[in-house]
Structure 1
Amino acid sequence: MTDAPKPEHDAPLVAPNFITEIIEKDLASGKYPKIVTRFPPDPSGYAHLGHVFASLLDFNTARQYGGQFNLRMDDTNPELAQQEFVDSMADDLKWLGLDWGEHFYYASDYFDRYYEYAEQLIRQGDAYVDSVSAEEMSRLRGNATTPGTPSPYRERSVEENLDLLRRMKAGEFGDGEHVLRAKIDLSAPNIKLRDPVLYRIVNKPHFRTGDKWKIYPAYDFEHPLQDAIEGVTHSMCSLEFIDNRAIYDWLMEKLGFDPRPHQYEFGRRGLEYTITSKRKLRQLVQQGKVSGWDDPRMPTLRAQRRLGVTPEAMRAFASQIGVNRTNRTVDLAVYENAVRDDLNHRAPRVMAVLEPLRVTLTNLDAPQTLSLPYWPYDVVRDSPDGLVAMPSGERVNPEQAVRDVILTREIYIERSDFEAEPPKGFKRLTPGGTVRLRGAGIIRADEVETDADGTITHIKATLLGEEAGAKGVIHWVSAEHALPAEFRLYDRLFRVPHPEGDNEELDDDSAGPSEHDAEHEEAPVSEGFMRYLTPNSLQVRQGFVEPSVANDPADTRYQFERQGYFWRDPVDSREDALVFGRIITLKDTWAKTAKAEAIKLTETAFVEKKKVERPSTKGRGPSEARGEGSSDAPAKAHTPTPEQEAEFSRLTALGAAEGDARTVAKDPALLAFLTGAVQDATFGQVASWTVNELVAGLRSGAVKVQAADLAPLAAQYAEGRLPARVARDALARAAASGEAPLTIIEREGLNAGLSAEDLQKAVVEVLSANPDKVEAYRDGKVALLGFFTGQVMRATGGKADPQQLAAALKDALA
């Protein structure tokens, strides 16, 4: 058997977290001889960015402790699972850096064993065949305040249940006629325990087993069993599955597995401006909104590979996301900055003109061969060994990292680099003005030619000496020698941070396990997210690139000066027809526009919601007033109702911030929750958590904690006795479980502080590992203090006190 290799260095692959603490205790006690983890994607689509964090957490945790990592295809849905998706997922995850050796498994490998366990549960009296409809089953389960009601079929005999299950297996019944349910507890507060479905009828062939099976196991049944069969020790999944753990533990107990695996939940990681539901990604492909699963605008790994993102960048991104029990949506800029940081030291600088404007240098009689560097000084200085990479990948001294560029009489510049009537502050070329050509000298625009429509077509310019002055620098290419190329400019696929809005659909396996409903049917997908697609997210330009790229390897990433990072499209580019796709812009151009768009869309959504909730009844009949007819009456766009104004005043008087009070006053779910809060000095903090941390769960009904239970947590946080990290962690766990936050903190030791000795040790290790950045900080680059702070926080698992850390860094860097 091939186990995950041990790391070759002492630095942890996974920053210390609550799961690594559990693992270390389990190894020290001898509970398990070695660690076994698994990543179980559902092969109903392509691997995507939602898989990156979870898969690397599983893989790196096993690797860090010298254990075993399994890749498992959770192929229990015969209607969606396909070999194409299996192959693509395995290939993309291997590209990402995962190595499972011989430990590649399918859920379908064990269909026979799952069935044997199902019959065992029936014989033990722990499972029964139910014959009610799906709707009736849902009704009989009850709700959060009403216990479940037994199905009329719950007390079938063992013999009758076995007979029915075997006939289900033989294909005697249609889809939905019967299901196999666990017999657990219909009055359990955890609704998951109210007789969950274990098997359902699906009369569809499976891509691996053909027509052999007519029944297929539900996720809550097969997943724990496969963990146990494969010897998994620590089964990591996202916080949404905390209630499912009760079924997991019940199965392990009833079927007598020893040693047995345990499930551990960590906070789910979403990504702004992104959808990772494979159902919705499939919809984008099927409706032609994108060209396919590998369209570079898609969040699939296959698309990001085609875009030119490297696995190193993805691993760096994942390493920046801490492991804790708090759900978190990560700003897409974090991912994009990881891509930029990777490319900055990887991509040589060359020139390309995407929208060419012809310029004639009237006084240049003969071509000039210029030797231009591939790398700017700051990148060379930051190179740890003093060497830089040529496009071929060879590392050389900086003075050798150059290419020849020919300056000819006819050149192309960017059309946007010339303005006949320049705006204030314009620093590029203007009539009679000067500008510096990159590496070639200063030019002055003397004459401008236009066509019949007034469009500028040609500029005549003079090449001046270095004694001339110029404020701006522009790029260019030789009209004679440049290579024609197509440039594809990709933008974010969605223009808002949360395109799925309040009805955000959890990805079916982004954090580990697959999420299947009881009958394992694909749920309907709303098309609402489509309205947030970015217009013109792909723009195509026909221009020119300098000829130095002709002999470079096809996978060379470039920084086209002032344009962004590009590489040759691996699908469409050919030697005789170059196609370059932009991997990413040079800097984040979304920050300001995205904020404005988000505000606009939020206000619009509120107005539309009010049109539905409060239709005008003036001049209507009774049926229309009840909402049975349509309404054309305009809604008041931003004017709160008198009731909302009254709530706003009450909430602010109790201590809520004005912004929080406005949000709560307009939202019935938030208002209902906060009504139960303690009305003392803690109210403002509880209101803040309600709006900023609990909003999604409150709107979906998933929050189990009461507002009154948050007052002690808020009090300790306000007194400085709890770091923000601990408070948020306890809040998230309390919301998911209903347990008092301070009880969770005490039991789990979440507020275990960091000794001054350990803090000092972490600071020394971080500074010793980054001598170049220490030198740069001492030379005046004080912004690096944020980098050092983040590295120490990561090394200490977020346990360092911010004030103590700031003081320790100040002393160490003095």
Structure 2
Amino acid sequence: MTVPDADKPSSATPEASPAARVASAQLDNYITEIVERDLQNGKYAGIVTRFPPEPNGYLHLGHTFASFLDFQTAVQYGGRYHLRLDDTNPEGESQEFADGIMADLRWLGWDWGENVFYASDNFERYYAYAEQLIRQGDAYVDSVSGEEMARLRGDAHTPGTPSPYRERDVEENLDLFRRMRAGEFADGAHVLRGKIDLSSPNMKLRDPVLYRIKRAWHYRAGDAWCIYPMYDFQHPLQDAIEGVTHSMCSLEFVDNRAIYDWLMERLSFAPRPHQYEFGRRSLEYTIVSKRKLRQLVEGGHVSGWDDPRMPTLRAQQRLGVTPQAVLAFARQIGVSRTNRTVDIAVYENAVRDDLNHKAPRVMAVLEPLRVTLENLEETRTLQLPYWPHDVVAASADGLVALPDGDRMAPAQAVREVRLTRDIFIEREDFSADPPKGYKRLTPGGTVRLRGAGIIRADRFDTDDDGNVTHLHATLLDEGAKAGGVIHWVGAQDAIPAEFRLYDRLFRVPNPEGEHPDDMVPDFDPEQPGHESGPLDTGFLRHLNPDSLRVTRGYVEASVAADPHDTRYQFERQGYFWRDPVDSRGDALVFGRIMTLKDAWGQTQKAESGKPKPAGKKPRADAAPAASGGVQPALTPQQEAEVTRLTRLGAAEGDARTLARDETLLAFLADATPGETFAQVASWTVNDLATPLRAGTVRVRAADLAPLAGLLAAGKVTSRVARDVLARAAESGEAPAAIVEREGLSAGLDDAELERIVAGVLANHPAETEAYRGGKTALLGFFTGQVMRASRGKAEPGRVAGVLKAALDAG
């Protein structure tokens, strides 16, 4: 069988990789607005970003969002992205994790070329910068205990008190720091602190620790060092060393930016990087703390980092999720300035949407009950389709066209399945004492076998405990009627298999507590180790005891000749593939990638209908759960609203937010259907939500369609569009009228943009020759030149495409 190619190898260029293909839609957020502004005013010659994981565990779904933002921003603006292993804490770090991180990112389709960096390669440079700070009087060696240091720092209401060692002279500080490096002192005896401001309201600036003594074996440096830099010292220095321009991190580091800026100023880096924060994305029913993930592994609660129930990318690969699905999810959840807990249904639906067009339909019986068709004299060979009519179509060349662009011959679009005298059906598809509304097989009742005809149950056998063990049935003529359809497998050809049915690892949406933002962060730069804080095992009580169920049954014979990495839709059961670790030879093991529908959500809805305890009723107009909190399950009416909005074009993440908020829905009610609807919905959720709830928006949704059209056509930049949107919301004036009155239209057609690009290349012959000679990182330089030449009217996304075409044409 030929199936769509779900995981084609990536090329050496980011533009051709699976990541770039899935993420082809332009990012549009407040960070890209900053990037555009910096390119327009010539602040940087090109954009450089970095993704800096610590190699003390495997990447997880939370990292996917951060890596997507870091890498895709650089791709969008013709810049360069780096992978950096932030390995300055020897405890828990290993080459295994470093290699795993790189393998997982390559699986996603990212290709950083030669731009991979290890922080540990620059230990000597960090040390030299530390000595420079000491010589400048900006750092000193402190010898108080950790407890005393914390006391002297004061609190939010009390300024800090100087350590008795704060005024050590430069020579004494240099001598002590060099002796710390030489290993003369015990762990904790001394630290190096920055001398900043003990009265600052920002506690991070109250003389932060820059270096500590730690005797531990480093997986790359061995025992060459016994002092290690702290995150707040190392991270900005490494950004500057690499030439990073826009250093993006999650919101919990917003106060740390002050240290970042202080170091850049005191060490006189130019041009210097800047730190920008974005809201962290948590995921319901999931733990993404590496410390807690390690507890799950080491405590035997899961089989390892690649256990398919884990949120690690390694586990998602083994589960059978494709990189395209993961990246589609990362694109959907969006960028904002606030923390947010994402409905896990957004991720699950991204996986289903991806597999629906890739997974051929076959039949498997997970809990078999033998059925004998008493009147079937000869085996019948049936031709059953791999693909339902709504997934495939006929192409002009006579082949069957699949939605992802692949094609196959008509003979390949079906498989042979033999109907034999003995077959297997699901045990739950027969009931000797059926409940009300049961529409499958019952004594004397009929049911249709998928693609094979209608059968009637005549009698059944039971064991000593009354369990049905064998069913005797009659195959009826086609004129017979049946109320339901069930799947089956012919017993003569059936292939035995083990089926692993995975479910959510935790029973509750937020296993870490009701307020995840109040929890001890997984990464604490104030502590000697990156992952510190008290050991928390409370989340373990929320483990789902039914997160893995194993059954033994049969799968149809057609799968025997298929590639081992084929993803299937087992009819009525879900999406499955062969476990790449445990499925070998004749020992078939199929793991369920995803159910066909959100069965968990349906269960929640059913439970939501139970009587509520007496108490205070929530306001009917209450806003959705606060950012970072746990969103309640959608009601059936809200799910229907999500379906309606996504059909109109809204992204699923936006649709789910809108469905929960009657204020936003009411505003969007008069939005113009069509190609602009998705953009208007996005603005409603990401730009107008707060003023809408405050009742201060004076513009109508219907007035936003022309502005969205101008943005889509490249007539205005995203920065201009958002500025106009904010002004229109406040004034009530039609956005398009503002654009026309003030001459804000970009006014650059393709011909004009190509003329500007040609002029830039002509004015920079040496750089053009260097690019064509292999220095492709110069694309960022050219992007900045074109943006300046266009006076900011060009859309950076279009610039990158036109530029690359012109450069490659030479």
Determine whether 1:252 maps to 2:277.
Answer: no
Residue 265 of structure 1 deviates from its aligned partner by 0.7
Contact 2:54 2:86 in 1 (8 A): yes
Determine whether 1:345 maps to 2:357.
Answer: yes
Determine whether 1:759 maps to 2:703.
Answer: no
Residue 400 of structure 1 deviates from its aligned partner by 4.4
Determine whether 1:91 maps to 2:103.
Answer: yes
Tell me which residue corresponds to 1:553.
Answer: 563
* Match 2:155 to one of 128, 143, 157: 143
Change (3 A) 1:509 1:63: farther
Change (3 A) 1:377 1:575: same
* Match 1:692 to one of 626, 643, 646: 626
Residue 445 of structure 1 deviates from its aligned partner by 0.5
Tell me which residue corresponds to 1:462.
Answer: 474
* Match 2:453 to one of 414, 422, 441: 441
Once the two structures are superposed, residues 119-161 of structure 1 have per-residue CA deviations (whole angstroms, 9 ceiling, x without a partner) of 0001101011111111111111111111111111111111111
Contact 1:276 1:507 in 2 (8 A): no
* Match 2:574 to one of 558, 564, 574: 564
Amino acid at match of 1:336: E
Tell me which residue corresponds to 2:224.
Answer: 212
Once the two structures are superposed, residues 223-244 of structure 1 have per-residue CA deviations (whole angstroms, 9 ceiling, x without a partner) of 0000000000000111111111
Once the two structures are superposed, residues 54-106 of structure 1 have per-residue CA deviations (whole angstroms, 9 ceiling, x without a partner) of 10111111111111110001111101111110011110111011111001111
Change (3 A) 1:387 1:22: farther
Contact 1:56 1:98 in 2 (8 A): no
Paired residue total: 664
SS in 1 for 2:390: helix
SS in 1 for 2:392: helix
Determine whether 1:659 maps to 2:618.
Answer: yes
Change (3 A) 1:475 1:282: same
SS in 1 for 2:559: helix
* Match 1:354 to one of 360, 363, 366: 366
Determine whether 1:396 maps to 2:408.
Answer: yes
Tell me which residue corresponds to 1:262.
Answer: 274
Once the two structures are superposed, residues 401-443 of structure 1 have per-residue CA deviations (whole angstroms, 9 ceiling, x without a partner) of 0000000000000000000011111111000000000000000
Contact 1:380 1:387 in 2 (8 A): no
TM-score of the two chains, using structure 2 as the length reference? 0.76
Q: Percent identity?
A: 65
Change (3 A) 1:458 1:10: closer
What is the distance in 2 between the residues matched to 1:174 and 1:278? 29
Determine whether 1:63 maps to 2:12.
Answer: no
Once the two structures are superposed, residues 293-350 of structure 1 have per-residue CA deviations (whole angstroms, 9 ceiling, x without a partner) of 0000000000000000000100111111111212111011100000000000000000
Tell me which residue corresponds to 2:248.
Answer: 236
Contact 1:413 1:475 in 2 (8 A): yes
Determine whether 1:133 maps to 2:142.
Answer: no
What is the distance in 2 between the residues matched to 1:87 and 1:555? 23
Change (3 A) 1:298 1:87: same
Q: How does 1:642-653 map to 2 (within 5 A)?
A: none
Determine whether 1:518 maps to 2:527.
Answer: yes
Once the two structures are superposed, residues 755-809 of structure 1 have per-residue CA deviations (whole angstroms, 9 ceiling, x without a partner) of 65332346789xxxxxxxxxxxxxxxxxxxxxxxxxx9xx98996999999xxxx
Contact 1:442 1:464 in 2 (8 A): yes
SS in 2 for 1:211: coil
Determine whether 1:320 maps to 2:254.
Answer: no
The structure whose RCO (Cα within 8 Å, separation 6+) is larger is 2
What is the distance in 1 between the residues matched to 2:230 and 2:202? 18
Change (3 A) 1:578 1:400: closer
Tell me which residue corresponds to 1:781.
Answer: none
What is the distance in 2 between the residues matched to 1:340 and 1:42? 31
* Match 1:300 to one of 296, 303, 312: 312
Change (3 A) 1:110 1:204: same
SS in 2 for 1:470: coil
Q: How does 1:590-601 map to 2 (within 5 A)?
A: 590-594=600-604
Contact 1:4 1:67 in 2 (8 A): no
Contact 1:372 1:439 in 2 (8 A): yes
Change (3 A) 1:730 1:106: farther
Determine whether 1:539 maps to 2:566.
Answer: no
What is the distance in 2 between the residues matched to 1:731 and 1:199? 48
Tell me which residue corresponds to 2:169.
Answer: 157
Change (3 A) 1:515 1:277: same
Tell me which residue corresponds to 1:44.
Answer: 56
SS in 2 for 1:37: strand
Contact 1:27 1:34 in 2 (8 A): yes
Amino acid at match of 1:419: S
Change (3 A) 1:443 1:752: closer
SS in 1 for 2:354: helix
Tell me which residue corresponds to 1:577.
Answer: 587
Residue 523 of structure 1 deviates from its aligned partner by 2.2
Which structure 1 residue ranges, 5 or more long, are not aligned?
Answer: 604-637, 641-647, 649-657, 662-683, 697-715, 733-740, 766-791, 806-814
Amino acid at match of 1:33: A
Residue 538 of structure 1 deviates from its aligned partner by 0.7
What is the distance in 2 between the residues matched to 1:580 and 1:73? 35
SS in 1 for 2:387: coil
Amino acid at match of 2:349: N
What is the distance in 1 between the residues matched to 2:455 and 2:342? 46
Residue 595 of structure 1 deviates from its aligned partner by 6.2
Contact 1:143 1:191 in 2 (8 A): yes
What is the distance in 1 between the residues matched to 2:725 and 2:467? 62
What is the distance in 2 between the residues matched to 1:278 and 1:308? 22
Change (3 A) 1:424 1:385: farther
Tell me which residue corresponds to 1:655.
Answer: none
TM-score of the two chains, using structure 1 as the length reference? 0.75
Tell me which residue corresponds to 2:287.
Answer: 275
Tell me which residue corresponds to 1:420.
Answer: 432
What is the distance in 1 between the residues matched to 2:382 and 2:666? 65
CA RMSD of aligned residues (A): 3.9
* Match 1:529 to one of 536, 539, 546: 539
